[in-house]
Structures are given as C-alpha cells and as structure tokens.
Amino acid sequence: MRLTFKTTSKQFWISSRLYSLFAAVNVSFAAKRLTLAVMLGWGLVGNATRSAAADWPEFRGPNQNGTIPAAKAPAEWSEEKNIVWYTPTQGLGWSSPVVVGDRIFITSARNTDSGDAALAGPQALHLECYIATTGKPIFDRMLIEQPKDAPSIHKKNSHASPTVLASDGRLFVHFGHQGTLCTDLEGKILWRNLDHSYSPVHGNGGSPILFDRKLFLTCDGGDMAYTLALDAATGKEVWRTPRGISTDRPFSFCTPQAIQVDGKWQIVSPGSDIVQSLDPETGNVIWSVSYEGFSVIPRPIFYRGLVFVCTGYMTPKLLAIDPTGTGDVTDTHVRWTYGTGVPNTPSIVPVGDQIVMVSDGGVASGVSVETGKKIWQKRLGGNYSASPIAIGKQVYFQSEAGDAIVMEIGDEPKEISRAMLPGRVFASYAWLDGDWIIRAENGLYRIGER
C-alpha cells in the first residue's frame, strides 16, 4: 500500500523539525514517528510520496544511528540462500544505499578513459536508481565529470563514497570537494553547488544531513577545514564555520549530527583534533572539545543525553560528552573516555545500556553508556569499514571481505550466525520491509526470508 500526501512548505519545515526531534532521542521513538506522520498527513521527512513502511533516507537510517526497532530480519544468507534479488552495478562507489518508497539510490564513479572502476584518471560521477521489489535499474544519470587532474584518493576509498540524502521528493547528492547537487527522484538536477572546492586528502567521505531547511556538510581538506550550511531549496551558502584550531592534518570525513539540548538545537560536527557544536541558524560555536586525532570518519551519535564521538587516527578514543556546556568544555564536560578497540572507520551503535562498536581490525566491543567501562570484547576476524546495524538486541557486523556476523548483545554476547556474499563490502546496510539492502563491490543485493 502507498500513501500519497501533498505538503506545503510550512508542513515540510514542521515535519523536518519533528523528524529531527524524534530521531535525536533514541530508537524507542521510531514507532511514534511513523504514527505521528500518518496522523498529520505528511511523510517523516516531508516526502510527497511515501511507502507505508518507513524509508531509509540517509546514512545510518531514519534514526541516524544505525538502529531499528525489534523486528524479524534475516540472519543467514549466501549466494544460494535468502537472496531475493541481485543486480550488477557499474563503476565503483562506497556510498550506502538509501530507500525512498519503491526506489533504491546509490552513487558510483567510472573511469571515462577505460569505463572501469579504476581509482585514477578522469571520472564520471553517477546517480543510480533501482526498483526495490525487483532490483531492475530505473535510471543512471551522470551528474559530474571529474577532470583528469583530480586529486588521487586512498586505495580503500572511492570517488563516490558519501551517501545520498532523501527528503521531500528530492535527493541531495554530495561528492565532497567535487560538488553537491539536488535532484528530483528522476535524477533531474534542481541545483548544483561547485563553489566549495578544497584540497582533499584521500578523497571524499562525509555524508550530508538536513535540518531546518538547511543542508549541513563538513569540508575538512588538507588546506582548509570548516563546517558548511547550504540553503536546501537553492544550494546557496548560508554560513560556514572554520574549525578554529591549528593542526598538522586537518583532513577528516565525518557526517554531522543534529541534536536538541534543553529545547535548543545544535549541529555536532567532529573534525581533526576538535568537535564543535554549532548553532544551526548562525553557525556560531556553542561548545567544543579538543582531542588528538585526525581523519575522523565515524558519525557521532546522541544517546541518553550524551554525545559520543570517535577521535580518529592514530590512536582512536571514544568520548562521552555532556552537550549542555558553552565554550571550550574539554576539561569540564567530557564524562568519560574509552580507548581500546575504538574504530577509525565504522560508526558506533547504541544497544540498551551499551555502546557497541567494531574496530577496523575486527575487534568488537560493548562499553557501558553510563561509566565507559568495558562490558565485553570479542575478536571477530577480518577488517571492517561498514558501520554495524542494530535490530533490537541483535547487531550485524559486516566485514570488508563479505562476511557478516550476527550477535545477540548482552553482558556476554552470543554469536547467532555468519553469512557470506562475494566481493568486497564497505557500504553500510539499508533496511526495507524486513529485508536488508546490501551493496557489494559489483552489485546490489536484497536479502530476505521467502
């Protein structure tokens, strides 16, 4: 069943605020968001056309932290089992899939000299769309042609790593230093902003977020580092806020987070050596915490009144920050610090009283939300870039080599199953009506029990 609504601009603004309000609290409000959206007559994020089931509109999903309310989900799959469909994809991209109604969107990059997925050389940056029920391609649009002299990237990265953001019948497509675009659901370009070019190190990575009719991006390159707000309707710059510190390695790749504290909104934006909380209207710094770390990738989360931030290379730490302060709160509002098995790349996920994570080297951990003490730790094996997903108390860890490990989280976690797909997997999962959408190196999979 599909629900079709007409929204005014005022309704879009209100629905976006409501969506952000509930998403910032925790997973227990997911059902309330859906019920409220249906009662008020518009989509969770203002989409004009919505499916009856919730979409997966951005990196880390509608709760913005990789959580899904307890539900039945496939825990086992292989090339012979629980594959609803598979469709090959072209080029290379590590953006995670997003789901809007009956459509799936990803981005990719293709070498225009050879047509393959080579990391070097001129690249064509594409937006792709697939039918969610069958995997059949709907369209494939080239949005940006990257020049031959474009900077090189890390061998584990792609030229299309930021995840698409979907809202109100629009797609916000970001390619880091190469530019940001807004399209409709058919891939037609509505606006394009190529003004924020900076010197990248290792390529692009951080995904955009949408709040209060603004698109928020991190622009942390080798020559400059700042957080940027664009008008979501026009793509014009609203404000930019420099990191305000001197650091030898200013480059990072983080996705910001909108939170509400004491009735006021903040944009939490981690970068190299510092995390800043910014006023979404003005870009003014509300509070900041300094640390030692660069190339910050994991998205921060807001859970049980605390902001959790991973500090990046070389020795990552997990910080729990009380976001009620003002100014430099490094010495006053960091509630605890944890430093064993903290990821450089995968984001963290909250599960009950724990923060659950997996390091890039395959060490999974559960840490107490309240105290920062280690509850458990287990070596999974393999290397990890995809962010774990929690459905109830089950957490899905996806290795780069294609192995998925499902664990039941408690004081002593229990391994439930292991699954395997061919090819590398760096993208995080999307969720669709009880099924997983998984992007592997050479194609998309829909995983479900049938």
- In the prediction, which pLDDT does 44 show? 31
> Which carries the bigger pLDDT value, residue 102 or residue 154?
102
Q: Which two tokens stand for residue 355?
A: 């923060």
Angstrom CA distances, 81 to 229, 389, 417, 428, 446, stand at 45, 21, 14, 21, 11
1 has pLDDT over 70: no
- Per-residue pLDDT band for 178 (boundaries 50, 70, 90) equals confident
What would the pLDDT profile of 120-137 be if each residue is shown by its tens digit? 667 899 999 999 999 999
What would the pLDDT profile of 26-55 be if each residue is shown by its tens digit? 433 333 333 333 222 222 333 323 333 469
- In the prediction, which pLDDT does 116 show? 57
Domains delineated in the chain: 2-447 (2.130.10.10)
- In the prediction, which pLDDT does 318 show? 98
Instruction: Report the chain's terminal Cα–Cα distance, integer Å.
Output: 19
Prediction pTM value: 0.87
Distance CA(268)–CA(278), nearest Å, equals 6
What would the pLDDT profile of 409-441 be if each residue is shown by its tens digit? 999 999 999 999 999 999 999 999 999 999 999
- In the prediction, which pLDDT does 118 show? 58
- In the prediction, which pLDDT does 192 show? 96
**Any residues with CB less than 8 A from the CB of 8 and at least 6 apart, and which?**
none
- In the prediction, which pLDDT does 134 show? 98
357 has pLDDT over 90: yes
Distance CA(366)–CA(358), nearest Å, equals 9
Q: Which residue has the tokens 């990719």?
A: 108
